[in-house]
C-alpha cells in the first residue's frame, strides 16, 4: 500500500487553504495561543536555554551511539517481558502489527496518538484487514470521523472549528438526543468521552506511540493531556508500542531533562498532564496492565539520515514549536503540505522519508525567517537542512527549467563583480519604474512574489555606491 502524498499539489493546496474561511479562523489559535504560552513558560524558567543545550547534547550523544542504545533497550525490554520487533520499512512495521493482531484474534484496536502510525498508514491497512482502529485522542477522534489526516503533530484537529466539531458529532452520534446542547467545548468533550469509553472496554489491542524509549530500563514513555494513552495501554489484553529508532534516550535522568523542554516548547505547560512510563507487561501482583507488550521500532530511512547531512533532524522530539512559529504554517495550516509531517520539521523530514521527488515543494515553503530554529528545543538548524534539500532539488533537475536558468544566471553574475555591479545599476533603474511607496506593483517576471506584496521603490543608489560616496 502507498501513502497519499499530495505535496506535488502544494501550490494548489495552499491557494485553497488561503481561501478557506473556517480554516483561517481555526488557525488564529496557533498563532495567538501556542506562541504566547511558550514564551511565558520559557521566561518563567531561568535555566530554559541551558536545558535546551542539555537536551541537544543528550540527543547528539544518543545518535552517536544509537546501535549500542538500541541493543541495550532491546535487552532490558525483553528482560521485563516485552517483545521487541525491529522494522526496516513501513511495510515491515505494518506486517509486524498485523501479525500480533492476528495472533490475538483482534477485531478492534484502540489507538493513542502516534505519528509513526500515520507515517506507515496503519489505519487504512488495519481496515483493509478487517480490523477496526479507533482513535482515542480527542483531536485524532475528530479527524478520524472527518476522514482526514492530522494537520499538526501535537494538535491534530487544530484546523477544525468548534462549530465543525459539533456538526461532526451530530452526524456521527446520530442515536443521541438531537436537542442536546453542544455549544461548549466541555459538552463536546463529555460526548466524545462517553463514546470512547465503550471502545476502550471492547478493544482487543491498544496501540500507542512513544515520546521516548529508555535504554537504561527498557521502558517507553508517552505524554498526553487526556489520559487516553493510559487507558489505551492498560485496558486491552495486548499493548503495542510504535516508535522510531531516534526515540531512544540513554537514561531516566535524560528523559527528565527532555520532558522539561518538551511540554514548555509544545503547549507552554511545565509538564503535560499525564506522563506515563511503561515497562513490559503486567507482572504478578500488578493491579492492571496488558498481558503482552510488543514494541515495534521503525527505521524507514532514518539509519541513512544518521550517516548523512540530515542527521541533526533525528534530534527532533516532536514538540511542534517550529510549526507553531512558522508564518507559512500560520497562513495555510498543515494539510496543504500534503505529507504526514508538516511545517518546518516536515519540510526536512518528509523528503527523507517519502522521497524528494514527491515532496520537493516543502523545503521551498519557507521564508527562511529563522523562527523555527530559534524556538527548537534541541536546536535543529531547520533552515540549513531545508537549504540542503533545495540544493539536492537543483542537482537532481527537479526545479522547473526557468528557475534553474535564473539561478544559473545569478551564479554567473555573482562570480563576476564588475558585471554584477553593472547589472545591479540597471536593475535599480528598472525596479524604480515599477516600485511604489504606497501600493502594490506586479512585476511581469515575478508576479508570484509581487502580486500580494509591497514592492517599495528601491534607493536611487546601490549600497556599494553609497558606501563609496561616504568614504
Q: Which is nearer to ligand SF4, 306 or 319 (CB)?
A: 319
Q: Which is nearer to ligand SF4, 109 or 336 (CB)?
A: 336
We find the least distance from the C-beta atom of residue 264 to ligand SF4, in angstroms, to be: 11
User: How many CA atoms within 13 Å lie on the side-chain side of 440?
Assistant: 10
Q: Which is nearer to ligand SF4, 121 or 320 (CB)?
A: 320
DSSP-assigned letters across all residues of 62-130: HHHTHHHHHHHHHHHHHHTT-EEEEESSHHHHHHHHHHHHHHTT-SEEEE---HHHHHTTHHHHHHHTT
Name the region of 369 (left: φ>0; alpha: ψ -120 to 50; beta: rest).
alpha
Q: Which is nearer to ligand SF4, 76 or 264 (CB)?
A: 264
3-state secondary structure of 153: coil
Q: Which is nearer to ligand SF4, 115 or 431 (CB)?
A: 115
Other CB atoms within 10 Å distance of the CB of residue 120:
27
Query: Which are the contacts of 203, defined by CB distance < 8 A and separation ≥ 6?
Result: 108, 109, 110, 134, 232, 235, 236
We find the least distance from the C-beta atom of residue 400 to ligand SF4, in angstroms, to be: 29
We find the least distance from the C-beta atom of residue 317 to ligand SF4, in angstroms, to be: 5
Q: Which is nearer to ligand SF4, 77 or 339 (CB)?
A: 339
Residue 440 DSSP label: B
We find the least distance from the C-beta atom of residue 57 to ligand SF4, in angstroms, to be: 14
Q: Is the dihedral of CA 200, 221, 124, 98 positive or negative?
A: negative
What the block records as the C-alpha cell of 353 is 522519508
We find the least distance from the C-beta atom of residue 72 to ligand SF4, in angstroms, to be: 24
Torsion of the alpha carbons at 453, 349, 210 and 230, rounded to the nearest 10: 30
We find the least distance from the C-beta atom of residue 323 to ligand SF4, in angstroms, to be: 7
We find the least distance from the C-beta atom of residue 374 to ligand SF4, in angstroms, to be: 10
Chain contacts with ligand SF4 (rule: CB under 6 A) = 316-322, 345, 376-378, 380
Q: In terms of Cα–Cα distance, which of 308, 223, 317 is closest to 271?
A: 223
Q: Which is nearer to ligand SF4, 271 or 414 (CB)?
A: 271
Amino acid at each position: 500500500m502507498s501513502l497519499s502524498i499530495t505535496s506535488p499539489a502544494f501550490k494548489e493546496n495552499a491557494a485553497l487553504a488561503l481561501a478557506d474561511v473556517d480554516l483561517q479562523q481555526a488557525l488564529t489559535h496557533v498563532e495567538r495561543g501556542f506562541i504566547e504560552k511558550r514564551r511565558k513558560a520559557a521566561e518563567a524558567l531561568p535555566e530554559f536555554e541551558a536545558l535546551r543545550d542539555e537536551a541537544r547534547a543528550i540527543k547528539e550523544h544518543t545518535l552517536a551511539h544509537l546501535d549500542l542504545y538500541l541493543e541495550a533497550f532491546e535487552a532490558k525490554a525483553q528482560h521485563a517481558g516485552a517483545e521487541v520487533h525491529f522494522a526496516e520499512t513501513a511495510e515491515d512495521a505494518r506486517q509486524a502489527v498485523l501479525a500480533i493482531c492476528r495472533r490475538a484474534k483482534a477485531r478492534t484496536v484502540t489507538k493513542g496518538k502516534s505519528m509513526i502510525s500515520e507515517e506507515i498508514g496503519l489505519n487504512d491497512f488495519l481496515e483493509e484487514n478487517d480490523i477496526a482502529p479507533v482513535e482515542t485522542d480527542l483531536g485524532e477522534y475528530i479527524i478520524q470521523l472527518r476522514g482526514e489526516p492530522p494537520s499538526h503533530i501535537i494538535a491534530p484537529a487544530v484546523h477544525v472549528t468548534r462549530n465543525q466539531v459539533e456538526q461532526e458529532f451530530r452526524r456521527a452520534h446520530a442515536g443521541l438526543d438531537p436537542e442536546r446542547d453542544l455549544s461548549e467545548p466541555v459538552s463536546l468533550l463529555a460526548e466524545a468521552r462517553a463514546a470512547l469509553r465503550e471502545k476502550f472496554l471492547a478493544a482487543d489491542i491498544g496501540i500507542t506511540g512513544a515520546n521516548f524509549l529508555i535504554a537504561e530500563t527498557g521502558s517507553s514513555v508517552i505524554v498526553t493531556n487526556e489520559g487516553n494513552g493510559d487507558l489505551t495501554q492498560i485496558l486491552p489484553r495486548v499493548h503495542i508500542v510504535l516508535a522510531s529508532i531516534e526515540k531512544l534516550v540513554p537514561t531516566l535522568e535524560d528523559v527528565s531533562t527532555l520532558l522539561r523542554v518538551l511540554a514548555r516548547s509544545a503547549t507552554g505547560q511545565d509538564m503535560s498532564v499525564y506522563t506515563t512510563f511503561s515497562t513490559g507487561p503486567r507482572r504478578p501482583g500488578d493491579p492492571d496492565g496488558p498481558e503482552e507488550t510488543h514494541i515495534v521500532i521503525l527505521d524507514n530511512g532514518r539509519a541513512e539520515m544518521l550517516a548523512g547531512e540530515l542527521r541533526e533532524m533525528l534530534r527532533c522530539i516532536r514538540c511542534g514549536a517550529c510549526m507553531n512559529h512558522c508564518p507559512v504554517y500560520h497562513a495555510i495550516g498543515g494539510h496543504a503540505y500534503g505529507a504526514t509531517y508538516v511545517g518546518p520539521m516536515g519540510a526536512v523530514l518528509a523528503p527523507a522519508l517519502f522521497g524528494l521527488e514527491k515532496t520537493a515543494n516543502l523545503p521551498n515553503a519557507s521564508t527562511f525567517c529563522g523562527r523555527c530554529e530559534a524556538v527548537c528545543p534541541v536546536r535543529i538548524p531547520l533552515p540549513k537542512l531545508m537549504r540542503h534539500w533545495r540544493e539536492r532539488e537543483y542537482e537532481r533537475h527537479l526545479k522547473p527549467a526557468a528557475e534553474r536558468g535564473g539561478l544559473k544566471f545569478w551564479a554567473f553574475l555573482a562570480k563576476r563583480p564588475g558585471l554584477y555591479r553593472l547589472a545591479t545599476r540597471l536593475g535599480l533603474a528598472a525596479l524604480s519604474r515599477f516600485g511604489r511607496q504606497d501600493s502594490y506593483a506586479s512585476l511581469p517576471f515575478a508576479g508570484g512574489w509581487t502580486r500580494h506584496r509591497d514592492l517599495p521603490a528601491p534607493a536611487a543608489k546601490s549600497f556599494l555606491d553609497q558606501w563609496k560616496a561616504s568614504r
